């Protein structure tokens, strides 16, 4: 390999690995969507159930709150699915651009920009969803939700 191209190749490899990691994380967390017909008695945690089920169980969401939250949850799940699809599509575009001979630098940059934009939108959407959701909770439930959100952010970054 041309020594002048090595920094570019390492950068592309690092970015591809980052994109792949983001894709895998996004896919693994895709199960967080809520099925409104899902029973609260279903198993939760690592053995089964979804994050949403676990959260609602831990917050002791009442049936009345569940009913009021249902439209928020549905809108969030729909937008989240759209963003995950954008990330997936852009990740494939990135792989194709890296695979091109010679490497399609403009395609790499465009795919990376789209992945980053969609990931940023997903983060804003998720935080916005939690902040919007807390308005339907009791003060104690809202504090738990915000505490878990802060802890999750602090421990994952």
Per residue in 89-122, pLDDT tens? 999 999 999 998 888 899 999 999 999 999 999 9
Banded model confidence at residue 80, pLDDT cuts 50, 70, 90: very high
pLDDT above 50 for 86: yes
HSE toward the beta carbon, residue 85, CA cutoff 13 A:
6
**Within a domain: residue 9?**
no
pLDDT above 80 for 23: no
CATH code at position 146: 1.20.120.1490
Q: Is the peptide bond before 149 cis (omega within 30 degrees of 0)?
A: no
Give residue 48's pLDDT.
Answer: 52
Give residue 79's domain range: 66-157
Among the ranges given (39-43, 72-76, 138-142), the one the predictor scored with the smallest mean pLDDT: 39-43
**Within a domain: residue 22?**
no
Give residue 33's pLDDT.
Answer: 38
**Within a domain: residue 43?**
no
**Within a domain: residue 4?**
no
Tell me how many domains the chain contains.
Answer: 1
User: pTM to 2 decimals?
Assistant: 0.65
**Within a domain: residue 105?**
yes
């Amino acid at each position: 390999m041309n020594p002048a191209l090595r920094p570019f190749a390492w950068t592309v490899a690092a970015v591809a690995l980052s994109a792949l990691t983001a894709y895998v994380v996004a896919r693994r967390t895709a199960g967080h969507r809520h099925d409104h017909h899902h029973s609260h008695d279903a198993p939760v945690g690592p053995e089964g159930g979804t994050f949403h089920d676990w959260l609602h169980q831990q917050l002791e969401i009442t049936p009345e709150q569940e009913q009021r939250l249902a439209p928020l949850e549905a809108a969030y799940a729909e937008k989240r699915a759209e963003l995950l699809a954008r990330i997936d599509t852009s990740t494939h575009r990135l792989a194709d651009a890296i695979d091109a001979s010679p490497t399609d630098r403009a395609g790499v940059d465009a795919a990376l920009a789209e992945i980053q934009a969609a990931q940023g939108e997903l983060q804003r959407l998720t935080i916005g969803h939690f902040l919007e959701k807390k308005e339907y909770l009791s003060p104690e439930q809202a504090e738990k939700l915000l505490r878990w959100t802060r802890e999750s952010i602090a421990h994952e970054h």
